[in-house]
Chain A
Amino acid sequence: DQQVKQNSPSLSVQEGRISILNCDYTNSMFDYFLWYKKYPAEGPTFLISISSIKDKNEDGRFTVFLNKSAKHLSLHIVPSQPGDSAVYFCAAPMTTDSWGKLQFGAGTQVVVTP
């Protein structure tokens, strides 16, 4: 049962513009949400997280917004750079005591064009 969904498999954006990646979830018990970035032939690397008690978390060019009533979160990348071209996964811990047991979305492939 897919409880974390990323419905856009791909996104193309021009360098310098904003990238907006979307994620929906069905389990209202999720306490945290995480975004991971993955380059080809590498493992995912952690990007940013947000607690369910917040509606926004910012780290440099990356901002995650959470709308609990809509069970929706989004990742904004501003400005987009060529090095941001990667697959981005939204994930949520399945337990409250560890972030090692994660439920992942299917991922969104971002391509940043010059």
Chain B
Amino acid sequence: NAGVTQTPKFQVLKTGQSMTLQCAQDMNHEYMSWYRQDPGMGLRLIHYSVGAGITDQGEVPNGYNVSRSTTEDFPLRLLSAAPSQTSVYFCASNPRVNTEAFFGQGTRLTVV
């Protein structure tokens, strides 16, 4: 099992560009989440999904869209990148019951 796979690992965008961060998990987990990590702020929840076709907002959802068409994939879309979205993004998955979340290796995004 590969676990949680995020692509790309690094990305530089210009302000106003759009892109999709990919996240895939092969553990058949129902629950998937996106977080961003900024210096001095820990990780903050952007969006999460409790199953295919079901998504909801986290703490900092503005500027991001998600969809969950399959159990395995949970892409995060930036519609119009802004410098404030420069961050490290982590995708996570976990079974619906109370067990720990497994994180991907992260995507470092810079918006110039």
| Residues of A that sit less than 8 Å from B by CB | 4, 6, 9, 32, 34, 36, 41-46, 49, 89, 91, 93-94, 97-107
The answer to whether A43 and B98 have CB atoms under 8 Å apart is: no
The answer to whether A97 and B96 have CB atoms under 8 Å apart is: yes
The answer to whether B31 and A44 have CB atoms under 8 Å apart is: no
Give A93 to B58 CA distance when docked, in angstroms. Answer: 12
How many A-B pairs have beta carbons closer than 8 Å: the answer is 72
Say which residue of A32, A42, A97, A99 sits within 8 Å of B101 (CB atoms): A99
The answer to whether A101 and B58 have CB atoms under 8 Å apart is: yes
A107 closest partner in B (C-beta) = B42
Q: CB-CB contacts of B89-106 with A at 8 A, as 1s and 0s? A: 010111011111111111
Would you call B32 an interface residue if the criterion is a C-beta within 8 Å of the partner chain's C-beta atoms? yes
Cβ contacts A to B, 6 pairs, < 8 Å: A43-B104, A89-B43, A98-B50, A98-B98, A99-B101, A106-B40
Q: Provided the pairs A41-B106, A42-B105, A46-B100 are in contact, do residues A101 and B41 lie with their beta carbons within 8 angstroms?
A: no
| Residues of B that sit less than 8 Å from A by CB | 4, 31-33, 35, 40-45, 48, 50, 58-59, 90, 92-94, 96-106
CB distance from A112 to the nearest CB of B (A): 21
B33 closest partner in A (C-beta) = A100
Give A45 to B101 CA distance when docked, in angstroms. Answer: 8
The answer to whether A41 and B92 have CB atoms under 8 Å apart is: no
The answer to whether A100 and B103 have CB atoms under 8 Å apart is: no
Q: Provided the pairs A43-B105, A44-B103, A45-B103 are in contact, do residues A101 and B42 lie with their beta carbons within 8 angstroms?
A: no
What residues on B are CB-neighbors of A34 within 8 Å?
A: 100
A1 closest partner in B (C-beta) = B59
CB distance from B49 to the nearest CB of A (A): 9
A34 closest partner in B (C-beta) = B100
The answer to whether B94 and A99 have CB atoms under 8 Å apart is: yes
Q: Provided the pairs A9-B40, A89-B42, A107-B42 are in contact, do residues A98 and B103 lie with their beta carbons within 8 angstroms?
A: no
